[in-house]
Amino acid sequence: MPDKKSYQSLKTEPRFFYGYIVVAVALFIMVVSWALYYSFGVFFKPLLNEFGWTHAMTSGAFSLSMTMYGVLGIVVGVLNDRFGPRVVLTLCGVLLGLGYLLMSQVSALWQMYLFYGVIVGSGMSGVWVPQLSTVARWFVGRRTLMTGIVLAGVSIGQLIGPPVTTRLIAVYDWRLSYIMLGGAALLVVLFAQFLRRDPTQMGQLPYGADEGKQPELTSDTPSFSLREAAYTAQFWVAFSIFFCFGFGVFAIVVHIVPHAIELGISATSAATILSCRGGMSLVGNYVLGGVADRIGNRQIFIVGFIVILAALLWLVPARELWMLYLFAIIFGFGGGGMAASESPLVAGLFGLTSHGLIYGVVHLGFTAGAAVGPVVTGYIFDLTGSYQVAFLVCAALGIAGIALAAILRPTRRPHGRI
């Protein structure tokens, strides 16, 4: 860690701020990786049709990948704090490419669990926490806005991934499509070479940092270690908030396409519902991300949960395509705003020194919800032959999320808002 004198020698007004390159590269990596990952729901029906697996069995591979993504997110958070995002994203990009290439050879359920659940899930573990933690180090001012710009890549990926993949499957079949996805995943390795852990590596200060201060001191929040953070109630409240968020989002991401097909909607139109959600997430990232810098990230979670709760209650009786589009618009907007506020919320609660590690552990709540949500939703469908009960369960988790966000308070040592 550089000492205070080294920070005082850094340029506060460089001719060009490299943090914007970091944001642009992180945005591109998000687009590629999440465009591929969100396409799982498009492969759902082709896999069911070829192998005759149940909804729960097929969803289980995605749930396992989210489990690996969450658990290894802690590991890559530590690695990012120590070695930086370039090393982490290079390794994870190789795993992503390998996993998708191997998926083209699936012939048994255990293979899908290994190739997609373990290998793709391990590759995805480096996409979220390391990049958002890196952006938090580069920006003190505009932190939530810049986080929202990076997370726009998730929305753009969801916007373009499902319809493009649907077209690929229609033309080339699902096996060759997975080979193409594997090749695209290797772009992550190339662009990762432009990432830098923090401004000191480029002789700069974080955007918005006061002259002569260390980055950690420019925030209102003293830094916590993971051990210190884990002993606070706020740590576990944030963990639970993220669980509720992840459960609802990925129950929808995995099952909205098969749900629409069950209603008699074509596969192409069903995929555009998922894309519509991605497009509105992009709007939510930008709009609510900017608002969060003014009113605080906790308030964004309250608003976001209210919005997605309304969307889920609308979804239960929805039967027409236009109704599903309206659901996607509302649900995507609320979810996009909450995604942009995750990393800044953790930074506001616990500081930046161990942000990658702490965020990795807290974000495990999101990935746990994202792992449980799809398989529970699939299991409910297998039992009832309908998604209605599952959507009501998601709505109940939305109510819990509102309550948890409402009781979240700053940690004792901070003097700012969260």
Q: What is the CATH number of the domain that holds 29?
A: 1.20.1250.20
- What pLDDT is recorded for position 5? 46
Our count of domains for the chain comes to: 1
DSSP-assigned letter for residue 198: S
**Considering the domain boundaries, does residue 97 fall inside one?**
yes
Burial class (CB in 10 A: 0-12, 13-18, 19+), 1: exposed
Mean pLDDT for back-to-back runs of 10 residues, the chain (418 residues) = 45 70 94 90 86 87 87 83 89 95 94 95 89 84 79 82 89 93 92 87 74 41 79 93 94 88 87 83 78 83 94 93 93 86 85 77 87 89 90 95 92 57
CB 218 within 8 Å of CB 351: no
Residue 414 lies in a domain: no
Cα separation, 252 vs 62, whole angstroms:
13
Using DSSP's 3-state secondary structure scheme, residue 373 falls into helix
- Residue 15, pLDDT score: 67
For residue 320, count other CB atoms closer than 10 A to its CB: 10
Question: Is residue 51 a part of any domain in this protein?
Answer: yes
Q: Is 214 inside a domain boundary?
A: no
Residue 192 located in a structural domain = yes
Residue 180 CB: number of other CB atoms within 10 A? 17
- Domain-embedded: residue 209: no
One-letter identity of residue 349: L
Q: Where are the beta strands (DSSP E) in 194-240?
A: none
Burial class (CB in 10 A: 0-12, 13-18, 19+), 186: middle
Q: Is residue 323 part of a domain?
A: yes
In a domain, 4, yes or no: no
Domain that residue 347 falls in:
18-196+222-407
- Sequential DSSP letters for 287-313: HHHHHHHHH-HHHHHHHHHHHHHHHHH
Coil vs helix vs strand at 207? strand
pTM of the model: 0.72
Query: Tell me: the pLDDT tens digits for 291-327?
Result: 877 788 889 999 999 999 999 999 999 999 999 999 9
Please tell me the predicted confidence (pLDDT) of residue 418: 62
What whole-number distance in Å separates Cα of residue 237 and Cα of residue 231? 12
The predicted pLDDT at position 411 comes to 79
